[in-house]
A and B are shown apart, each in its own frame.
Chain A
Amino acid sequence: MTYFILDSCIGCGLCKTICPSQAITGKKKELYKIKADICIECGSCGRVCPLSAVEDNFGLIAQRVEKKAWVKPFFNLDTCMSCGICLDTCPAGALDSNTQKIGSRHVFPYLPDEFVCMGCQFCASDCPVDAIIMVPRIADQSPTTLKQES
């Protein structure tokens, strides 16, 4: 069971634009389709669809989420082991590594441009040491300030 576009689709094309694996095909103002063998089930099509016309892999209607409220990764550098699994697993290629140094450890992941992140949470679910927490980014609150508060 993979993601599926319902007949209520109006063909606005938002899902096709955001899909990181080019799994969605279709023409404007026509019904779009998801290629099941390519879909990686990141759920970003469901989050952008203005008509909630996407059914997720559990058969539930995916709910539209305001872009401002999309969850973004927050890295706990104390537990991070700099393995780079999150950098690879991100289908949007949104993460990069910096040269920060903590003790004998260097090179930690960070999110250079948060608009590229689609909030799919793959980085958090694939992190072996659970060093990534997904939190909504509230306006004017950068990851650094979040860290300071916590």
Chain B
Amino acid sequence: MDIKNKGYMGKVMNVDLSTGKITIQKISPNVYKSFLSGMGLAAHLLYHRIPADADPLGPDNLLGFVVGLLTGTGSLFTGRWMVVGKSPLTNGWGEANCGGSFAPAIKRCGVDGIFFTGISPTPVYLYVDDTTMELRDATNLWGMDAVETENHLLKKLKNRNARVACIGQSGENISLISGVSTDKGRIAARSGLGAVMGSKNLKALALAGTRRIAIHNKEEIKRLSRICNKWVQFQPPFVPGFFTAPIGALMRIMPAVLTQDGLLYKIMLRKWGTVSLNQMSVEMGDAPIKNWKGSNADWGFFKSRSSNPDGFTKKEIKKFHCYSCPLGCGGICKTNGKFSQTHKPEYETVLSLGGFIMNKDMDTIFYLNELLNRAGMDSISAGHTLAFALECFEKGIITTRDTMGMELKWGDPQAIEFLIKKMINREGIGNILADGVKLAAKRIGKDADKIAIHAGGQEPAMHDSRNDPGFALHYSVDPAPGRHTNGAGLYYEMYQLWKKVKNVPKMGPAYWKSSKYKKNIKHARMGKANSQYMNVINGAGVCLFGGFLGTKRIPIFDWLNAATGWHLTPEQYMEIGGNIQTLKQAFNIRHGLNPKDNRVSDRLLGLPSQTRGANKGRSVDIDTMMKDYWELFGWDSQTGIPSQKSIDKIASIT
């Protein structure tokens, strides 16, 4: 057992798929102290290793599977693993995040990350245990879906410690909206990194290591975990699912907003999971309806009631906890139809295959959730692409001649199922749609680009930026655009950073709703703090929902110090987070992206503003917010480009 490195393993594995050569590379402790592990380490390695003109689907792209610094140390909420690479969807920084039990498996192989370059001549999978590291033939696995692949590999390996991450048919077919799947249906979906894995002819990773992880102060970590767990176990009785919609409606009507405490959201997550937001979000104006054109007025209580969270708990066979998570927001549900069970659909899936395309048939959503999980396709992007196709059909841009005779009507389960199956197999119209809305609009032409809603090529998630302008900011300024987990005004309230970190804006107990839309440098300061903290969270491998508990209740900074033996202050960790953000932005600049191109489509910004519904008359001044955000980071306020001096300073760390 290597006891020099505390908390992290100090090595990464490099796999050259073209030659089949596998090497272990040592990483200096200074890199960990400057970028943490996980996403920070990946930003450091990818910035240096991917050449500027690399084709995302070519041999030069680097595909990394990384794990956070705190994973495996006894700290809680640390079951996240991340896939990184140059995204074929945005042509810039690509990242996807996933839970399950795969995160510690990477660390137990003795490394903090596994990086793939080159392209294998034949389909292969990587097998690693304590004594073996090898690429094995996966020709017989090619064509199988993610669940079949995982079952097949686990049966074949006969190793109780083995954990598998793989791609389904969608990744094999190099669909740019595909992800990497694990635990029979949990998926690192965003940024189209499943397509990168497919382009490398890499079907799966099977990891079966048993290494121990050295920790500086195990007892201190346990003590902190126990305090954190007490907050998680605090679960008073909560209202039935029926009442979530009226609560949302009340939040819509009130002119002021109470600053939200994440503990309330934790109670809902524990009771129902993310589906607790299904009706509430629609009612309060957080959920986009009908390709961002509609509102709660089009998708009222009676239409959304089939997505009542209680309906999901009724179908739940058992809860699903990711590694080291005492919360357990996931679940395994029984389904009617072809598949006997599925992972409980998340809020994003229910909305993007539900209200977003005006579909209220829950059986279809359960079935398509499993179908997409198995194929390894991102349900957020798939929902957007469906909505795009439906609106194109409505406007006559595509006709039955393009759709093999299928009438595409809003909310028609048959049409939705038809399109998704075609997209997975890339047949007919599916071949046009399978790469996301931006490319689909380009292929279709005829003004279709006005209907294609995206941020820099990636489809934004199911949180309306007209309700929370913080989402618009992060969809637009983040190096991986369109991701909802990178920050929002609401997240800032729940993180409660001001209780631990100096020099961040404080929030009072309540504020006027109208203040969210007024010009104020505070919004950009909150955005900066969000980005910095999220990079620390991703470097530590902590779950976003853990972060929602608030910095006082989830001691991420203290855990990091106890695991590694460092004595860094929260402010220093935030600075590390900022450096990671600058490095990711520098990655995009290096690869020829213009940060201004990542600005979200006008529909999300309320340009023109809606005439009815929760977000009536609202519009977001994104340009000012973006400029303020860039300026606060010390980047050029007009172009969003970090100064060469600051890039050199961060990039020279070795």
Q: A22-B130, A88-B72, A88-B104 are in contact. Are A128 and B225 (CB under 8 A)?
A: yes
Q: A2-B1, A83-B326, A85-B324 are in contact. Are A21 and B130 (CB under 8 A)?
A: yes
Cβ-defined contact, A128 with B270, below 8 A: no
Cβ-defined contact, A128 with B222, below 8 A: yes
Question: With A and B bound together, what is the CA distance between A39 and B323 in angstroms?
Answer: 24
Cβ-defined contact, A84 with B131, below 8 A: no
Cβ-defined contact, B161 with A93, below 8 A: yes
Q: Which of A67-75, A99-107, A141-149 is the contact stretch? A: A99-107
Closest to B209 in A: A21
Contacts of B270 on A, CB cut-off 8 Å?
104
Contacts of A6 on B, CB cut-off 8 Å?
none
**B74 CB contact (under 8 Å) in A2, A93, A104, A126:** A126
Task: Provide a sorted-by-A list of 17 A–B residue pairs whose CB atoms are within 8 angstroms.
Answer: A40-B210, A81-B326, A82-B326, A82-B328, A83-B325, A84-B321, A84-B324, A84-B325, A88-B104, A91-B161, A93-B159, A99-B318, A107-B319, A128-B74, A128-B221, A128-B229, A129-B226
Q: 6 smallest A-B Cβ distances: which pairs?
A: A93-B160, A81-B326, A128-B225, A106-B319, A99-B318, A91-B210
Nearest-neighbour CB distance to chain A for B211, whole angstroms, equals 7
Closest to A39 in B: B1
Task: Report the contact-size class of chain A (Cβ under 8 Å from the partner).
Answer: 20 to 34
Q: A41-B1, A107-B328 are in contact. Are A85 and B323 (CB under 8 A)?
A: yes
Q: Is B129 an interface residue (CB 8 A)?
A: yes
Contact with A along B388-426 (1 / 0, CB 8 A): 000000000000000000000000000000000000000
Closest to B221 in A: A128
Contacts of B108 on A, CB cut-off 8 Å?
88
Cβ-defined contact, A106 with B130, below 8 A: no
Question: With A and B bound together, what is the CA distance between A21 and B326 in angstroms?
Answer: 28
Question: With A and B bound together, what is the CA distance between A105 and B108 in angstroms?
Answer: 28
Contacts of A61 on B, CB cut-off 8 Å?
none
Q: Is B2 an interface residue (CB 8 A)?
A: yes
Cβ-defined contact, A38 with B318, below 8 A: no
**Main SS class of interface, B:** loop
**Main SS class of interface, A:** loop
Q: CB within 8 Å of A: which of B490-505?
A: none
Question: With A and B bound together, what is the CA distance between A121 and B104 in angstroms?
Answer: 18
Cβ-defined contact, A83 with B1, below 8 A: no
**A94 CB contact (under 8 Å) in B105, B160, B212, B319:** B160
Task: Report the contact-size class of chain B (Cβ under 8 Å from the partner).
Answer: 35 or more
Q: Is B69 an interface residue (CB 8 A)?
A: no
Cβ-defined contact, B233 with A81, below 8 A: yes
Contacts of A94 on B, CB cut-off 8 Å?
160
Nearest-neighbour CB distance to chain A for B313, whole angstroms, equals 11
Q: Is B76 an interface residue (CB 8 A)?
A: yes
Question: With A and B bound together, what is the CA distance between A93 and B161 in angstroms?
Answer: 5
Closest to A104 in B: B235
Cβ-defined contact, A81 with B229, below 8 A: yes
Q: Is B54 an interface residue (CB 8 A)?
A: no
Contacts of A134 on B, CB cut-off 8 Å?
none
Question: With A and B bound together, what is the CA distance between A107 and B320 in angstroms?
Answer: 8
Q: Is A138 an interface residue (CB 8 A)?
A: no
Q: Is B232 an interface residue (CB 8 A)?
A: yes
Q: A22-B130, A38-B131, A129-B229 are in contact. Are A83 and B324 (CB under 8 A)?
A: yes
Q: Is B317 an interface residue (CB 8 A)?
A: yes
Contacts of A92 on B, CB cut-off 8 Å?
160
Contacts of A40 on B, CB cut-off 8 Å?
1, 210-212
Closest to A103 in B: B235
Cβ-defined contact, A129 with B321, below 8 A: no
Q: CB within 8 Å of A: which of B94-118?
A: 101, 104-105, 108
Q: Is B271 an interface residue (CB 8 A)?
A: yes
Q: CB within 8 Å of B: which of A1-59?
A: 2, 20-23, 37-41
Contacts of A39 on B, CB cut-off 8 Å?
1
